[in-house]
Amino acid sequence: MNANAIVQKLWRLCTVLRKDGITYQQYVTELTYLLFLKMMAERNREAGSLPKTMRWADLVQANGVAKLDLYRTTLLTFGSLSTRLGKDDIIVMPPSDSASASERKRYTQARPLPDLVQKIFEGSSTFIREAQNLTTLVKAIDELDWFSEERDQFGDLYEGLLEKNAEETKRGAGQYFTPRVLIELLVRLMQPKPGEVIQDPASGTGGFLVAADRYMRARTNDYLMLSAQEQDFQKIHAIRGMENVPGTLRLLLMNLYLHNIDSSHVDLGDTLSNKGKALGRADLILTNPPFGPAGGVPTRDDLSITATVSSYQLPFVEHCLRALESNGRAAIVVPDNVLFEEGRGKALRQMIMDQCNLHTILRLPTGIFYAQGVKTNVIFFNRGKSETSNTKFVWFYDLRTGMPRFGKTTPITAAHFEGFEKAFGTSPWGTERGPDEGETGRWRRFSREEIAARSDNLDISWLREAEEDVEKGLTEPEDITAAILGHLQAAMLEIDALTAELGLPGAYE
C-alpha cells in the first residue's frame, strides 16, 4: 500500500473519532503519539529508550478499558520531564519526602528518557474518551503494511497527514503548512549544499527543513559520498529551526525523526525574542514566517529597524537578514504589505537592498495559502560582503495576474511554476537570468534607480486584470470564503501600516 493510500485510510478514521469530540488537529496529535510508538517498535529502538510494559506490543495486546488506561498512563509517564529509566529499564519516579536514602540514590543515578521522547511527549494527554475508538485506531495502525515497498516512505506518509490537517483545519499559511509544491520549488532554486547551515526560524511542521535535507541526500547517495566528518555535520549540525507553538513543535519533531534528521538544533521558542539569537548564523534560510499582528513588539535586543513593530512579517525578515552569513542566501514568503509599507517597512527594504542583493521577487498567485487568502510573494536575496549598494537590479515575476484563483478545488502544481523556474536560471544567487519579457510578459527587470524613483516601493505590477473577474468564477463556498477573508486581511494590514505612518497608537510605534 503506497503512502497516499495509507494517508487516506488513516484520515477516514478521523470520522470515527469525531464522535469522541476530537478535532482534526487533536486527531493528528493522537496519531503522532501512536505512530511514534509504532515506529520505535518497527525500527527496534524501544530497548533503552522506552520502559517495558509501555511499548507498542503492550498497547496492542491490552484490551478494552485496560488499553485506554495503559495509553493514558504511557502519555502521562512520557510527558513528565522528571521521569527516569533505571538500569533494568523500569520507570523510576521522583522520590517522595519519605523515600529512603537508597531510593534517592537510585533516582539520582538513573538516566533520563531520551531528549526526543521527552520533547514529543512533554505535557501529553489523550483526547480519546471511548476505549473502542482507541482500539480501532491501534488496530488500523498495527495492521497496515508500512514498509512493503520502501522503508522510508513513512516520512512522506506523515507529511501527507500534516497536509490533510492543514486543508481541513484551514490553518495552513504561515503557522502550520506551506504547499509542498512551493517548498520543493524554493529548495530546487536555492540548491542547499552539504556543509551549509540551513535555517527555518518559523519551522512549522518542518516542510522546508525536510525538503532541504532530502535534496542533499539525493545528490550524495544518502550522504554516503561524504567523509565521516561531513556526514556527522549533516546529520547533527546542518539543520536548525525554531517553532513557537508547542503543539506544532511536537509535529515538527516527529516529522524530523521520521525523516532521520537530528533535532538537536530545533527548539521551542519565539524567534523574535533573545532566544531567537541562539539559532546562530546560516548559509541558507528558507521560511514562511507568520503574518499579521504579533500581540506585542519583539523582545530581541539586536533588531534595529523593526524593534517597535508589533506584527510578525517585518521583524522576521530583519531576523533573516541579520542571520545570514556573508554571501548567504534566503528565500522568504512575505505578504504584499512588506513590499509597499511606508515607515519601518520602507526602512527595512532599503536596508535589504543596501546590505544584500535583492535579486528576485516572485508574486505568488492568490489562494495557494488556502485558509489565509492573503496575497503573498517570495523575496530572494543574498547577503553582501559590504554594507551598501549591493542591489543593482531586481527581477520580478508576476505569477498572479491572469492566473486562476487557486484553492481546494483548483490546486496549484509544479507546472504552474515552470515559466518562473526557467526565467530564474540555474544559479541560486540569481546571477543567471532569462531575458526581460517586456510589458506584455511576466518577467521584468527594474534597476535600483527606477525603484528609488518609486520611493523604494517594490509593489510593482505591469500586467492588468480586474480581480473581480477572476473571482466571478468561484463556485465552492470554501473558495468564496477564502477570497472574502483575503480581502479583509489585506485591508487590516493596510490599516496597520496607515496607523504606523500617522503615529497613532496601534500596531506600530
Mark whether 204 and 141 lie in a shared domain. Answer: no
Mark whether 471 and 381 lie in a shared domain. Answer: yes
Mark whether 141 and 226 lie in a shared domain. Answer: no
Could you tell me if residue 457 is inside a domain?
yes
Tell me: the pLDDT tens digits for 219-258? 999 999 999 999 999 989 999 999 998 888 888 888 888 7
**Measured distance CA(289)–CA(197) in Å, rounded:** 19
Mark whether 363 and 484 lie in a shared domain. Answer: yes
The C-alpha cell 498567485 sits at 365
Could you tell me if residue 507 is inside a domain?
no
Q: Which of 113, 147, 181 is the last residue of a domain?
A: 147
Over residues 423-444, the mean pLDDT reads 95
Domain with 13, as residue range(s), is 3-147
More confident residue, 304 or 473: 304
Cα distances (angstroms) measured from residue 301 to each of 88, 273, 287, 380: 48, 8, 22, 26
Tell me: the pLDDT tens digits for 384-406? 988 888 999 999 999 999 888 77
In sequence order, what are the residues at sequence separation of 6 or more whose Cβ sits closer than 8 angstroms to the Cβ of residue 323? Answer: 199, 201, 279, 280, 281, 282, 285
- What's the chain's Rg over C-alpha atoms? 25
Mark whether 113 and 193 lie in a shared domain. Answer: no
Mark whether 66 and 143 lie in a shared domain. Answer: yes
Tell me: the pLDDT tens digits for 108-167? 444 445 677 778 888 888 888 889 889 988 998 888 766 544 444 566 777 777 777 766
Cα distances (angstroms) measured from residue 151 to each of 8, 140, 146: 19, 19, 7
Mark whether 61 and 196 lie in a shared domain. Answer: no
Which amino acid does the sequence have at 171?
Answer: R
Over residues 82-99, the mean pLDDT reads 47
Mark whether 283 and 361 lie in a shared domain. Answer: yes
Mark whether 334 and 451 lie in a shared domain. Answer: yes
Over residues 463-475, the mean pLDDT reads 58
Could you tell me if residue 158 is inside a domain?
no
1 pLDDT above the threshold of 90: no
3-state helix/strand/coil string of 365-414 = CCCCCCCCCCCEEEEEEEECCCCCCCCCEEEEEECCCCCCCCCCCCCCCH
Mark whether 117 and 209 lie in a shared domain. Answer: no
- Neighbouring C-alpha atoms within 13 Å toward the C-beta of 70: 22
Tell me: the pLDDT tens digits for 365-374? 887 764 445 7
pLDDT band of residue 448 (cuts 50, 70, 90) is very high
For 459-495, give the DSSP string.
--------HHHHHTT--SHHHHHHHHHHHHHHHHHHH
What was the pLDDT predicted at 98? Answer: 61
Over residues 310-315, the mean pLDDT reads 89
Mark whether 252 and 110 lie in a shared domain. Answer: no
Could you tell me if residue 292 is inside a domain?
yes
CATH code assigned at 91: 1.20.1260.30
173 pLDDT above the threshold of 60: no
Tell me: the pLDDT tens digits for 325-348? 999 999 999 999 999 999 999 999
452 pLDDT above the threshold of 50: yes
Check the CA dihedral 146-148-153-157 and report its sign. negative
Of 9, 20, 42, 39, nearest to 134 by C-alpha is 20
* 361 bridge partner residues: 379, 396
68 pLDDT above the threshold of 70: yes
Tell me: the pLDDT tens digits for 415-427? 999 999 999 999 9
What was the pLDDT predicted at 17? Answer: 72
Average per-residue pLDDT for the chain? 82
Query: What is the tally of structural domains in the chain?
Result: 2
Mark whether 115 and 216 lie in a shared domain. Answer: no
What was the pLDDT predicted at 7? Answer: 78
Burial 470-508 (b: 16+ CB within 10 A, else e): bbeebeeeebeebbeebeebbeebeebbeebeeeeeebb
